[in-house]
Structure 1
């Protein structure tokens, strides 16, 4: 009887642990999107780094140059709101000072499709996906 109780406890524990996948874990990977005919990539790493790539231009990651300053770009997800918020944070790697933040919203359309909207004109987070949105497909 104790064996069955332990087995049941282990199975329930494993089930609960596997069901609590964080939003960041679901987003980790390389994503491909198309905007106004241009194909670009978004790379989100397990350790919180974000990279945008358009043709041969790379913006973000663990180390990149921005206006002569060595910087890095990380991301944070806020699941407490809907749609979920995503911030891309640019930080000076020399003094760890935040240089800027881009505000966006995201939602998973499926396991392999991600919709994102960013506001490039102001520092306000978009309220919905009606403007400046792009759908990314997970690269496998």
Structure 2
């Protein structure tokens, strides 16, 4: 499952399966670990540890995150619960969107156009 999801989204998508019964080294499967630098046996991320301590545990979908080396990530954490509603696992997805943001900013800058103004204020800028 982990490899299939990662292959669907490409090399910039890390997918990890966490076994919450062993909190010291919960990653039991991971694909594209280079995105965050994590590997099999790595500990839980801080954001997941905090979520597990909250009173109402809910999936965290599509939130902004950052890797240790500064990559901007689009992340989700889906909790797997037992029949009593207790979390036993977690599937995390981290997509490095750093290059997409660079392209977005470049396109935005490129699409900026200027119009002559009616006065001493100079040139007005607006986006297309």
For Structure 1 versus Structure 2, the TM-score category normalised by the shorter chain is under 0.3
Higher normalized strand content (fraction of residues): 1
TM-score of the pair, normalised by structure 1: 0.26
Please identify the structure whose Cα radius of gyration is greater: 2
Highest RCO, 1 vs 2 (Cα 8 Å, sep ≥ 6): 2
Structure with higher helix content: 2
